[in-house]
Structure 1
Amino acid sequence: MNHGTIAASAGPGLNAVASHALAEPTRIDLAGHKVPVVNGGLYDRFRSNPPLSAIAKEAPDIDLSWFRQLKKERVDIGFESYSPNFYYSNSRVTAIFTADLDRLKALMPAKVLEQVQPLQVWPGRGLVALTAYTYRYCDNDAYNEIGLSVVTNRPGASSFGPFTLLGQSMSNDYWGYVLKLPVDTELARVRGVVGYNLPKWLTEIRYTETETSVVVEIFDSETKKLDMTLETRRLSDLSSKETLVTNSFTNVDRQGRPTTGHSISRQLSHASSSSAESVRLTLGDGSLSTYIKALKLGRLVKYEYVPEFQGALYAPKPL
């Protein structure tokens, strides 16, 4: 597959923000880790609590009306932070595949399985969601992220397989268990591992767009070679109807206690498809590809193309 060379656009109102990335990084102490951050960037200046007036000044084209309705609270998540964390301008693509149900259960901790179960869409088959995010402007600066999650029921609720999935889809309230979550900045890695109990590691991720597709390349953290490519269509039948979507996750904290966290996305431009031609996943020989191959992925159930959304990520709490 020839991807060519594609320049990623900074997005409306972000030219001044992008100039921060040209400066030499500065190092801060975060939960005992020496973490490089963008010199003069949002995190360097505000530590997850920038005033919206500063955001409006730097990126005047971004609509901040939704964030003005949300209240940040100071939290201790292994370091002092503020919840929710704000994501002002972002894009994502998500591909939902069937996968081997027994393998999914085997990868989930026993304490999590006591609370939630993978959804069984038909005998022996569950679901995984593979999502590529590009956060162009957020409280902890710009970065890319790849999420691989098991789709589950809500804690304490019965699972009725495809009917539960339909109910989550109709209410835009999804539940899952995160299997893998590589990122491409050390700040995002440390915050995710220490603060949110998430399986993050640092590696190179390229999120680019052509006139017809979104191309995401994930490199192996050890060999530095291209490991996996996710290529998806840029759908043309975009809806501009504002939609709020909640994604909740369960996991286990450092003390072995089950916890839950969630994010809310304000989708400003979005479309979906069930056509298998919408997604092409190419796996290599690296650690992430090897892991995904063991899941025995099957048919594509749904593809979501969300070229513009905003987000609020809430700190996890005991379940």
Structure 2
Amino acid sequence: MPSQTDTTMIDIAGHPVPVVKGGLYDRFRSNPPLSVIAAEVPGVDLSWFKGLEKNKVDIGFESFSPNFYYQNSRVTAVYTADLDRLRALMPPEVLATVQPLQIWPGRGLIAFTAYTYEHCDNDAYNEVAVSIITNKPGKANLGPFTLIGQSMSGDFWGYVLKLPVNTELARVRGVVGYNLPKWLTGIDRKEDARSVVYDITDSQTGKVDVSFKAKKLDDLSSDVDIVTSSFTNLDHHGQLAYGYAVSRQLSHGSSRSADSATLTLGDGSLSNYIRSLKLGKMMKYEYVPAFQSALYAPKPLAALADTH
């Protein structure tokens, strides 16, 4: 996180937010010219973004959609989890539209993903997502078959349970603009030759609560892979909404080996929450050391039928 000396305060929807002084967000508020990015991050291929149009939107504050993420990495582990518990954690209105995928009787799926956004419209930050994998609204939930279909089409749907971030800018934008369950805490990323480790601090105690160790896989594919990740939730007025991000994966690999990822839980609130999901077998691990992304502003769920 930036030190106080390097920050300036701005207002987002009535929230005072410290941002990097002279950083991208301070200067351009989510709409930097690509020429600026090219100058600041030489060597990053920006060709994909040239084909995407930004529009001014009101998401509780003025912003631009989509939000661009130019240089990023992520690691994801998908685990089985207790299906009844997953259903209980979703609002009834959402559950009436989408349900957790049942992979076998009594078991659903949770995706645990750690992201590092090195260069994006709202400055650098780390984020960790705990999400229930669901069917797409309006589509049948056929459990494993739905999962295979989503994998083949690169069109994934989920319900986000937890989303800690390590900058106040990411927190406020996510909570106000995207209706996402974000809070501010320390998320430390370190790596060596073999693995990437994310340590998530408990915001109450200041101690490391969750540690996620992810293996750096060999045999990575450099075939460009376009993936859409969508979420369904309730907006600030209690209405059904959805949002989505389109990602361009530039380097990626996956594994089903149990030792690819290790989730170590402590005794803080996030660890206790994850324990309550009764995680079981790891079904899949994804290592994506290079991807780009465009995050679109949320829309009423009713609009989905018109566009997809």
Q: Could you state the TM-score of these two structures normalised by the residue count of structure 1?
A: 0.93
SS of 2:248's partner is strand
**Cα deviation code 1:118-158 (max 9, x no counterpart):** 00000000000000000001000000000000000000111
1:188 aligns with 2:170: yes
Residue 232, structure 1, aligned to residue 214, structure 2? yes
Counterpart residue number, 1:9 = none
Aligned to 1:256: 238
Residue 206 of structure 1 corresponds to which residue in structure 2? Answer: 188
Q: Which of 94, 97, 103 is the aligned partner of 2:85? A: 103
Q: Residue 172 of structure 2 aligns to a residue in which SS?
A: helix
Contact 1:23 1:38 in 2 (8 A): no
User: Which of 14, 21, 40 is residue 22 of structure 2 equivalent to?
Assistant: 40
| Distance across 2 between alignment mates of 1:306 and 1:24 | 31
1:278 and 2:260 equivalent?
yes
Deviation at 1:22, TM superposition (A): 9.6
User: What's the CA shift string for 1:256-297, capped at 9, x where partnerless?
Assistant: 001000001100000000000101110000000000000000
> How far has the Cα of 1:96 moved from its partner?
0.2
Quick one: distance in 1 between partners of 2:227 and 2:8? 35
- Does 1:296 pair with 2:282? no
Q: Distance in 2 between matches of 1:284 and 1:199?
A: 21
Give the secondary structure class of the aligned counterpart of 1:280. Answer: strand
Structure 1 position 128 matched with structure 2 position 86: no
Distance in structure 2 (CA, Å) of the matches to 1:206 and 1:95: 18
1:59 shift after superposition: 1.2
The answer to whether 1:218 aligns with 2:200 is yes
Give TM-score scaled by structure 2 length: 0.96
Amino acid at match of 1:212: R
Measure the CA separation in 1 of the matches of 2:6 and 2:215.
36
Q: Secondary structure at the match of 2:6?
A: coil
- Are residues 1:80 and 2:62 paired? yes
Give 1:11's aligned residue: none
Q: CA RMSD in A?
A: 1.2
AA aligned opposite 1:60? P
1:103 is paired with a residue whose SS is helix
1:62 aligns with 2:44: yes
Residue of 142, 163, 168 corresponding to 1:160? 142
SS in 1 for 2:227: strand
- The CA deviation string for residues 156-176 of structure 1, in whole angstroms up to 9 with x for no partner, is 111100000000001111000
Matched residue of 2:183: which SS? coil
CA-to-partner distance for each residue in 1:101-122, whole Å, 9 max, x for gaps?
A: 0000000001101110000000
Q: 2 CA distance for matches of 1:69 and 1:135?
A: 21
Gaps of 5+ in 2: 302-308
How many residue pairs match? The answer is: 301
Tell me whether 1:118 sits opposite 2:123 in the alignment: no
1:176 alignment partner, one of 155, 158, 172: 158
Change (3 A) 1:124 1:132: same
- Residues 195-221 of structure 1: per-residue CA shift (max 9 Å, x gap): 000000000001111100010100000
Give 1:23 shift.
5.7
- Secondary structure in structure 2 of the residue aligned to 1:251: strand
Q: Tell me the distance in 1 between the aligned counterparts of 2:184 and 2:107.
A: 31
